[in-house]
């Protein structure tokens, strides 16, 4: 955790953040107040802080408490150096050793006398046949942001429930899609990048491979889609070629910047499917609720089904709320990443074999009700 300089921003006379001078005084007062507190370490428990939010938000209070009281991190002279690049540098030896071990595994598994081009062609065909990309989740990824007309009429006048950001090694096998309908479909967009990255894994020079993969300078960015047995990932802003190369090479892990949005409080059919499909989607949501795969309650609009509202408490996985065609693709991706996990939850493979199987299953009364979503 680092000290940060927040520049004031606003629209016209209205400031979106605190008055700079007043904010400085407020932070200084909080800093001094936190410094006098003594954490309770009774029975060896980790220090726990109760944060009471105000208009300054929870983030400021936890940041100040983390730096000043709990020693989460030492302040750095230049906040611009923080982020995924700095975290990579801080653990560079460990990251380099891990990537080197992955390179060795790739070289050991590489078929003899097989060129990069031949390997890429074969693996691309296999991956598209056995684990095709899922469809993009679309509006489900932004459902955590809610428009509030009391603030203003513009699209920028939205409130989000929060986003978690971290950097970690993720399993490429859990990447469900990278923005293309087929894996390695880069004929018109830097087609030489994936073969260059595959070739770099066969290079004895770890540093040269790291230079080509550029894991620190141009970080891969993904969105984490939580699930009951583990997460899936979808492409964020950067890294489609590297994630594809990692999947083709069957890399055990890849370093990435990860974001996960909070579970939305409400979801409406028009955010997920086109209007004519709203009624079918509502039938699926009813089935998910009846089976305990999603918890909450459905407020239906009989005149305008697309404007019905699912008040969401929990979900075994967010992608279950997607339209049928999208949901079965994500179910197949989940089965590929976590074999048997869906069956343990009561979702047999035949349920997501195709769209009719999915909709028929969810539209029929459940034979028995599994444990609550996410448990």
Residues of the chain with CATH 3.90.1530.10: 84-261
From residue 296, how far is each of 83, 271, 279, 359 by CA, in Å? 37, 18, 18, 20
Lookup result for tokens 């899922």: 134
Rounded CA gap, 342 and 356, in Å?
18
The segments of the chain whose pLDDT lies below 70 read 1-23, 34-83, 144-161, 368-375
What pLDDT is stored for residue 73 in this prediction?
A: 45
The terminus-to-terminus CA distance of the chain in angstroms comes to 31
DSSP string, 250-288: T-S-EEEEEEEEPPPSEE-GGGTS-GGGHHHHHHHHHHH
Q: Phi, psi (5° rounding) for residue 212?
A: -70, -40
What pLDDT is stored for residue 30 in this prediction?
A: 73
What pLDDT is stored for residue 76 in this prediction?
A: 39
Q: Is 340 left (phi over 0), alpha (psi -120 to 50) or beta?
A: left
What pLDDT is stored for residue 253 in this prediction?
A: 96
Q: Is 284 left (phi over 0), alpha (psi -120 to 50) or beta?
A: alpha
Whole-structure pTM value: 0.75
- Residue 38: partners with Cβ closer than 8 Å, 6 or more residues away: none
What pLDDT is stored for residue 12 in this prediction?
A: 45
Label the pairing between strands 232-238 and 175-177.
parallel
What pLDDT is stored for residue 85 in this prediction?
A: 76
What pLDDT is stored for residue 166 in this prediction?
A: 85
Q: If you classify domain 84-261 with CATH, what class do you get?
A: alpha beta
pLDDT digits over 198-251, tens only?
999 999 999 999 999 998 888 899 999 999 999 999 999 889 999 999 999 999
Rounded CA gap, 288 and 284, in Å?
6
pLDDT digits over 310-335, tens only?
999 999 999 999 999 999 999 999 99
């Amino acid at each position: 955790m680092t000290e940060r300089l927040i520049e004031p921003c606003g629209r016209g006379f209205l400031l979106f953040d605190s008055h700079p001078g007043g904010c400085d005084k407020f932070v200084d007062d909080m800093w001094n107040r936190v410094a006098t507190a003594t954490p309770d370490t009774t029975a060896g428990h980790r220090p726990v802080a109760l944060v009471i939010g105000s208009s300054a938000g929870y983030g400021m209070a936890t940041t100040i408490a983390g730096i000043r009281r709990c020693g989460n991190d030492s302040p750095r002279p230049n906040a611009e150096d923080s982020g995924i690049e700095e975290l990579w540098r801080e653990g560079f030896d460990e990251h380099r050793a891990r990537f080197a071990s992955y390179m060795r595994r790739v070289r050991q598994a590489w078929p003899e006398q097989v060129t990069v081009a031949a390997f890429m062609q074969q693996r691309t065909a296999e991956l598209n046949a056995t684990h095709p990309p899922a469809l993009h989740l679309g509006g489900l990824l932004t459902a955590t942001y809610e428009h509030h007309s009391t603030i203003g009429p513009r699209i920028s006048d939205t409130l989000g429930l929060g986003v978690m950001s971290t950097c970690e090694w993720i399993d490429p096998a859990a990447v469900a899609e990278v923005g293309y309908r087929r894996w390695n479909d880069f004929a018109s967009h830097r087609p030489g990048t994936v073969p260059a990255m595959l070739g770099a894994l066969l290079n004895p020079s770890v540093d040269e491979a790291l230079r080509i993969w550029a894991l620190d300078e141009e970080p891969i960015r993904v969105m984490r889609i939580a699930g009951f047995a583990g997460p899936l990932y979808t492409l964020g802003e950067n890294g489609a070629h590297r994630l594809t190369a990692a999947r083709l090479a069957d890399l055990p892990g890849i370093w990435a910047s990860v974001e996960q949005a909070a579970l939305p409080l409400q979801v409406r059919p028009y955010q997920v499917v086109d209007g004519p499909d709203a009624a079918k989607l509502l039938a699926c949501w009813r089935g998910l609720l009846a089976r305990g795969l999603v918890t909450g309650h459905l407020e239906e609009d009989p005149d305008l089904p697309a404007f019905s509202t699912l008040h969401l408490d929990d979900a075994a996985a967010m992608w279950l709320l997607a339209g049928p065609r999208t949901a079965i693709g994500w179910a197949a991706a989940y089965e590929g990443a976590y074999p048997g996990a869906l069956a343990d939850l009561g979702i047999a493979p035949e349920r997501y074999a195709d769209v009719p199987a999915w909709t028929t299953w969810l539209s029929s009364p459940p034979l028995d009700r599994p444990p609550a979503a996410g448990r």
